[in-house]
Amino acid sequence: MTRTDKMTHSSPSLRKRTPADCVMKQLLFGTAGAPLSSKKKGSIDGIRRIAQLGLGCMELEFVRGVRMKEETAANVRQTAEEENVALSVHAPYYINLNSAEEEKITASVQRIYESARIGALCGASSIVFHPAYYQGHSSKKVMEKVTGLLEGLTSGLSDEGIDVVLRPETTGKATQFGSLEETLMMATAIEGVMPCIDFSHLHARSCGEYNTIEEFRSVLESVESALGREGLENMHCHISGIAYGNKGEKNHLILQESDLNYTDLMAVFREFDVKGLVICESPNLEDDAMLLQDTFRQ
């Protein structure tokens, strides 16, 4: 019996969603980019390898720029549909919606827009991005600036019929805007925005916290409190091993070479009956994605 079978919950009023932003039937596991064992490194071969491995999703990595052509995107979509693999997109790293330079803000918005446009042609429903840096400003001031820009962007995407969900990601360093609370605030404030919860980033940003069964429960309780059951049934998560210091994230690690308590995290996912996509960013990609999937299912 799941947690939701055992208790009732009074969810907040949910905002109107786009068709892409709907609850999922199960929790799918996959990789950030093509699996390392793919015959070729392109997205199409990556999708086929995901299916061969028995995984269910893949994140298209546009992190160095959106270079995919529309014709290729159509082929990616067809392959994903044939192989029954769900797709998401990670937008370029070079995004800072709180830059002191207006041209960099304009470029950042354009990068998210292009990621959404091409991602939608690929059939991806979620566009993940790192939203901003504080750069000496308060959380409140950055929140006002970022939400204003995202409101305009989601409105423009909707007007153009680009059916995606924008997902600001929880970030791994204290200098980066994107704590759990900030990320959930953006999701509750803006239609067409949902969170990407990177559990490795939460662990690194806090210098070792967010690693017990109680702390994992608190994260999912916060998601449910902010977004209702829909928040848990349409999750997008990143998980990997991670190295960190007193300034937060250093680099990704293989899960079993890190201190991330992924076993209890998967148990809490089952307890809360979480659905959506889990993207593994470990250096061994598909090995850890399959480890997470196996752990969850057991």
* Cα separation values, 151 from 109, 129, 147, 164, Å: 11, 15, 6, 14
Q: Compute φ and ψ for 197, nearest 5 degrees.
A: -95, 110
Is the pLDDT at 188 greater than 70? The verdict is: yes
| Mean pLDDT of the 107-115 span | 98
- pTM for the whole thing? 0.92
CA distance 69 to 67: 6
Note the pLDDT of residue 2. 45
Note the pLDDT of residue 25. 87
Note the pLDDT of residue 20. 44
Nearest in space to 192 (alpha carbons), one of 219, 168, 225 = 168
- Summarised one tens digit per residue, pLDDT across range 136-173 is 999 999 999 999 999 999 999 999 999 999 999 999 99
| Mean pLDDT across the chain | 93
Q: Hey, what are 289's tokens?
A: 């994605």
Write the single-letter amino acid at 220: L
- Compute the CA torsion angle 151, 153, 158, 163 (nearest 10 deg): -110
Q: Which of 9-13, 84-88, 248-252 has the lowest mean pLDDT?
A: 9-13
Note the pLDDT of residue 41. 84
Note the pLDDT of residue 11. 38
- Summarised one tens digit per residue, pLDDT across range 227-283 is 999 999 999 999 999 999 999 999 999 999 999 999 999 999 999 999 999 999 999
Q: Could you tell me which residue, 33 or 4, shows the higher pLDDT?
A: 33
Q: Compute φ and ψ for 240, nearest 5 degrees.
A: -160, 170
Helices marked H in 131-228: 139-159, 180-189, 199-205, 213-227
CATH dotted code for 27-297: 3.20.20.150
CA distance 79 to 42: 12
